[in-house]
Structure 1
Amino acid sequence: MAGLAPIADGYETEDSGYASNFENVSIITESVHSSIYDYRYEHGRRYHAYKQGENDYFMPNDEPEQFRMDLQHHCMFLASGSKLFHAPLQSPVRVLDCGTGTGVWAIAMGEEYPEASIHGIDLSPIQPDWAPSNVKFEIDDVEDDWTWPENHFDLIYSKLMLVGAIKDYRKYFEQAFKHCAPDGYFECLEATAIIRSDHIQITPENPIQKWTTLLNQGVRNLGSSVDIDFEAVAALMRDVGFVDVVYQPFKTPIGTWPADPVLKRAGSYQLVAMLEGMDSLTLLPFSRGLGMSLEETNKIIEEASREFTRKKGCYYWHT
């Protein structure tokens, strides 16, 4: 994480140096602003500007993607028991939200726990200005070295960071362990791009299976993964030092097929998020990762989208 350098001894105190120093600060400010907001565009979608070339996260950050992220949050919230977190904490004091996105989870936490300090970080400045006063957002990269104090956070929350955002799981977990309080918790809410069904057999010819197979390969070629082995993740957490590691899967429906009204609502959110977000998930992995044309990509997206809307499929994935 980037920090502020200390002021060196022997700095100028004369007023004559003030104007030039102020100009330097202005130049630095403009440079930082440019590095954050100088977005890149590919295939009509907008992508983050911060640390381009070093961390080229494959998901866009434009308004359609922000809409999808918020839908995804509400879906996973409902599917996982309508809880903001599952760690056995009564009143967290210092909370870190890694990859905060639109800030929807951090804002909800700030409202639910007004005495807590909530810190959300992300590569993209897409968070609102109207967050509660106890919620702060920062543009940074969680894969950099963290500069917060050790043993600092009661809760470090990570949602959908292992699916494509984090390249080095071990370093990420080691930093979380280092900066988590001895009685604190590190919670990952993740999903895997393996689509399941208890009602039909998903064959290799299934359009959804074709899409997920290509997506997994494309993301791997970009240096990340969306095919998560949850048991291996839990084992790695134990290996870096975490204790009492609990792996709790939730069935997240895609569509309105569940009889349970809460899961039906979650599934409706997930279906819209999936249909609206197929471009977000697919474009860069297919074009950059697999070298596919836009025409080929759109055909696969169209066929998979059509299959997701078939009720008899009763599709879901695990989170």
Structure 2
Amino acid sequence: MNKTANRPTMPWSASPALARTVEESRLDPRANPESGTTELDESFLELTTYQGREFQNYSLENSIYFGPVDDVIGVDISPHMKPDDTPENLWLQCNQVDDLNRTFTFPPNHFDLVHSRLIASGLHRQRWPRYIRDIKRTLRPGGWVQMAEMYFNVQSDNGTITNDHALRQWSSRYARSIEDVKDPRVAMNLGNLLTSAGFVNVETKLINIPLAAWSNDPRMREIGSLNRLNVYRLFGSLALYPLMKRLHMSREEFEVLVAQARIEVDNLSLKAYFPLYVSIGQKP
């Protein structure tokens, strides 16, 4: 969450000088910092340095917006995720201030940018409309929200994954095990939720994230290579409790399913991927 002092986000065209800097900064090595979002799509979130200050500029298609990066507040479930070395303008609130399933404690009109990522497995399904309204309430007029959620339903880029594959069985069982309390398909509905909450200029982008290095595109192949270990761990961690406690799978059955799913990830001919949905919206 970005907090700035009376500096709302705005179209880059409002400042011709900054607009030129946005284009020039694409050659600046600082313009593409290592973060999960920029690695997935550099045009969606980048940094621009202008007159000694850093600005976030993010776009879908040809619309580019920017906002200064002054103070950042991070909310996470666990303090173990806190890095050893944090910037001076970053404050982390870990499992002590805000439970995202409850009404935000942040004051109204407080942030210029709220970034929400990969919380679907922890947010109650009935909470989503209120959660997004809370985001809108804490944003200043003209501020932006950026939401990114993975749909954990393994797909195939060439249609070769069937219901008989462990990847598909893992996906369907995981969704079935949580759908009464969580919304495993909320990623596909982010744009509608933002619109229903009263956000404007809502746009959504779908990015297919490869589970291994099967893509012909060098950049996506690198992402798949880096993602492989994440996926290996995710199969065993994300679904352990839901499948064993809620679907009553035995430990042996669960481990066999996970092991087979991992083998299929390494079968590059299946071209397996997870759909990632990224939506943005602006508070009027």
User: Residue 253 of structure 1 contacts residue 315 of structure 1 at CA under 8 Å; is this kept in 2?
Assistant: yes
* Gap runs ≥5 in structure 2: 1-33, 47-55, 277-284
Residue in 1 that maps onto 2:41:
80
- Equivalent in 60, 67, 78 of residue 91 of structure 1: 67
* Secondary structure at 1:202 match in 2: coil
- Equivalent in 81, 85, 88 of residue 133 of structure 1: 88
| Pairing 1:261-276 to 2, within 5 Å after superposition | 261-276=218-233
User: Residue 211 of structure 1 contacts residue 300 of structure 1 at CA under 8 Å; is this kept in 2?
Assistant: yes
By how many angstroms is 1:225 displaced?
2.6
* Gap runs ≥5 in structure 1: 1-72, 93-112
* Residues 162-202 of structure 1, C-alpha deviations (whole Å, 9 max, x = no match): x2121111111010011111111011011101221132332
- 1:306 and 1:204 map into 2 onto residues whose CA distance is 16
TM-score by length of 2: 0.73
By how many angstroms is 1:146 displaced?
1.5
- 2:123 and 2:165 map into 1 onto residues whose CA distance is 29
* Residues 119-148 of structure 1, C-alpha deviations (whole Å, 9 max, x = no match): 011221121342111000112312222222
Q: Greater share of strand residues, 1 or 2?
A: 2
- Match of 1:145, as an amino acid? T
- 2:233 and 2:203 map into 1 onto residues whose CA distance is 32
- Match of 1:79, as an amino acid? L
User: Residue 149 of structure 2 contacts residue 187 of structure 2 at CA under 8 Å; is this kept in 1?
Assistant: no
- Match of 1:228, as an amino acid? V
* Secondary structure at 1:78 match in 2: helix
User: Residue 148 of structure 2 contacts residue 187 of structure 2 at CA under 8 Å; is this kept in 1?
Assistant: no
User: Residue 103 of structure 2 contacts residue 131 of structure 2 at CA under 8 Å; is this kept in 1?
Assistant: no
- Match of 2:153, as an amino acid? I
Is 1:154 matched up with 2:130? Answer: no
* Secondary structure at 1:91 match in 2: strand
By how many angstroms is 1:210 displaced?
0.7
* Residues 232-251 of structure 1, C-alpha deviations (whole Å, 9 max, x = no match): 33112111111111011112
- Match of 2:93, as an amino acid? E
How many positions carry a matched residue from both structures? 222
Residue in 1 that maps onto 2:31:
none
| Pairing 1:41-190 to 2, within 5 Å after superposition | 77-81=38-42, 83=45, 86=58, 88-92=64-68, 113=69, 116-126=70-80, 127-139=82-94, 140-161=98-119, 163-167=120-124, 168-190=127-149
- 2:213 and 2:138 map into 1 onto residues whose CA distance is 41
By how many angstroms is 1:224 displaced?
1.0
* Residues 260-292 of structure 1, C-alpha deviations (whole Å, 9 max, x = no match): 221111111111110122211111111222121
User: Residue 78 of structure 1 contacts residue 262 of structure 1 at CA under 8 Å; is this kept in 2?
Assistant: no
User: Residue 75 of structure 1 contacts residue 270 of structure 1 at CA under 8 Å; is this kept in 2?
Assistant: no
- Equivalent in 195, 200, 204 of residue 159 of structure 2: 200
* Secondary structure at 2:91 match in 1: strand
- 2:122 and 2:92 map into 1 onto residues whose CA distance is 18
By how many angstroms is 1:306 displaced?
0.7
- 1:208 and 1:298 map into 2 onto residues whose CA distance is 13
User: Residue 147 of structure 2 contacts residue 190 of structure 2 at CA under 8 Å; is this kept in 1?
Assistant: no
What is the identity percentage for the equivalent residue pairs of Structure 1 and Structure 2? 24
- Match of 1:80, as an amino acid? D
Distance 1:246-1:165 versus aligned 2 partners, 3 A rule: same
User: Residue 67 of structure 2 contacts residue 112 of structure 2 at CA under 8 Å; is this kept in 1?
Assistant: no
* Residues 41-68 of structure 1, C-alpha deviations (whole Å, 9 max, x = no match): xxxxxxxxxxxxxxxxxxxxxxxxxxxx
- Match of 1:119, as an amino acid? I
Query: Aligned-pair RMSD on alpha carbons?
Result: 2.0
User: Residue 150 of structure 2 contacts residue 187 of structure 2 at CA under 8 Å; is this kept in 1?
Assistant: no
User: Residue 219 of structure 1 contacts residue 225 of structure 1 at CA under 8 Å; is this kept in 2?
Assistant: yes
- 1:183 and 1:160 map into 2 onto residues whose CA distance is 24
Distance 1:136-1:81 versus aligned 2 partners, 3 A rule: same
- 1:229 and 1:90 map into 2 onto residues whose CA distance is 24
Larger Rg: 1 or 2? 1
